[in-house]
Amino acid sequence: MSAKLIDGKKMASAIREDIAEEIKVLKDEFNVVPGLAVVIVGDDPASHTYVSMKEKNCKNVGMYSEVHRLPEETSQEQLLELIHHLNENDKIHGILVQVPLPKGINENIVNSHIKPEKDVDGFHAINTGNLFLGEETIEPCTPKGIIKLIKSTGVEISGKNAVVVGRSNILGKPVAILLLHENATVTICHSKSKNLKEHLLNADIIVAAVGRPELIKGDMIKSGAVVIDAGTTVVEDKLVGDVEFDKAKEVASYITPVPGGVGPMTIAMLLENTLEAAKKKCK
């Protein structure tokens, strides 16, 4: 078997086109332009690249964008002060604080100061709580994008065995909850899990969210499985996923590439969440 590629780049591009159309309508009917503020603290080069990509994507769909680049020595208090200003700024519908943050700044405290309705990353405790409860919420971008990628295959999620490898608050845990809401039977594996291969061989759907290049080998994948690889690690200047792609594509039915799979969908979902936040404000 040779797996079909799930083209995240193409899907994200179609979503961005729809978003651009909706923004035009919002502007014409309500004179509202959705606005996203991104805050970055410190000099991490990869984070600066991600932030510039977000800025460019916002502009391309006609969204208002502000980027606040703060120095490494910024205190938590100074950062919270900026967030409070952005909370009160009517031009801003979404606020995102890029991680990682420098030592001395607590990510959870920072997220808790963003107004829940402007928390387009979906990391505020109210939004994660509502996600857990199955109530209406702002879903975190990467997990939301992953569910759309799986659904794009046409493979029914309900009743399937899904294995999520990784249990971080931003990725593994929320994607597992979303899969549960889709009625999958979900197993979460992590660094202390025994027999990863045994779990994976039972999976109809695999979501790899680890950050260990090619941890998941071809012989750990059940024939016909849908494989979503969220992992991204730079190895010798190349982005490498958590799945041994060349071998995995011989057994899987559908697979995402790295790059060009989950990554582009994450930004598309950020734009979608910001647009939704602006639409709610209009209502």
| Catalytic residue ranges | 54, 98, 121
Tell me whether residue 35 or residue 172 sits nearer to ligand NAP (CB atom): 172
168 binds ligand NAP (CB under 6 A): yes
Q: Which of 113, 167, 199, 249 binds ligand NAP (CB under 6 A)?
A: 167
CB 6 within 8 A of CB 33: no
CB 252 within 8 A of CB 3: yes
Q: Which of 120, 160, 263, 277 binds ligand NAP (CB under 6 A)?
A: 263
How far, rounded to the nearest angstrom, does the alpha carbon of residue 193 sit from its chain's CA centroid? 24
Q: Which of 92, 170, 177, 221 binds ligand NAP (CB under 6 A)?
A: 170
Specify burial of residue 135 (Cβ count, 10 A radius: 0-12, 13-18, 19+): exposed
CB of 165 to ligand NAP, least distance (A): 5
Per-residue x/- marks for ligand NAP, 28-57, CB under 6 A?
A: ------------------------------
* Residues shown for the chain: 283
Tell me whether residue 39 or residue 228 sits nearer to ligand NAP (CB atom): 228
Residue with tokens 């405290």: 109
Listing DSSP states for 208-257 in one string gives: E-S--TT-B-GGGS-TT-EEEE---EEETTEEE-SB-HHHHHHH-SEE--
190 binds ligand NAP (CB under 6 A): yes
| Pick from 3, 1, 7: nearest CA to 149 | 7
Which region among 102-110, 176-184, 198-206, 230-238 touches ligand NAP (by CB under 6 A)?
230-238
11 binds ligand NAP (CB under 6 A): no
Give the CA angle between residues 242, 263, 172 to the nearest 5°.
55
CB of 66 to ligand NAP, least distance (A): 21
List the alpha helices (DSSP H) in the chain. Answer: 8-30, 45-60, 76-88, 107-113, 125-133, 141-152, 172-181, 196-200, 245-251, 262-282
The site that binds ligand NAP (CB under 6 A) totals a number of residues, namely 26
Q: Which of 42, 140, 231, 257 binds ligand NAP (CB under 6 A)?
A: 231
Q: Which of 230, 240, 251, 252 binds ligand NAP (CB under 6 A)?
A: 230
Structure tokens of 209? 């969210």
171 binds ligand NAP (CB under 6 A): yes
3-class state of residue 46 by DSSP:
helix
Q: Which of 196, 201, 218, 239 binds ligand NAP (CB under 6 A)?
A: 196
Residues engaged in binding ligand NAP (CB under 6 A) = 142, 165-168, 170-172, 189-193, 196, 209-212, 215, 230-233, 262-263, 266
